Amino acid sequence: MSKEVIYERVTKVVREQRHDTELFITLETSLRDDLEVDSIELMEFIIAIEDEFGIAIPDEDVDQLDNIKDLIDYLDSRTH
């Protein structure tokens, strides 16, 4: 799966979780600050990503994911 496809799937999940189909998302979008999510919402988002990609993301890995690019790189490494 290409990083472009991963990006499209990730942004779809983000927009669904934020209930905003027009939300502007870049590779530098911060998972915590720019998306304005608290810790519970972040976990809900991670669960939705896990469901979308059929993988489990350990909590210690979540702590290392700062922005959309980090998440895409992580998913790319886990789905190959």
Provide the residue-wise pLDDT of the chain in tens; the chain has 80 residues.
Answer: 899 999 999 999 999 999 999 999 999 999 999 988 889 999 999 999 999 999 999 999 999 999 999 999 999 999 87
**DSSP states of 8-68:** HHHHHHHHHHHT-TT----TT-BTTTTTT--HHHHHHHHHHHHHHHT----HHHHTT--BH
- Cβ neighbours of residue 79 under 8 Å, at least 6 residues apart? 1, 6, 53, 55
**How is the chain split into domains, by residue range?**
3-78
CATH superfamily of 3-78: ACP-like (1.10.1200.10)
pTM above 0.95, yes or no: no
Q: For position 42, what pLDDT does the model report?
A: 92
Q: What is the pLDDT of residue 36?
A: 87
pLDDT at 53: 97
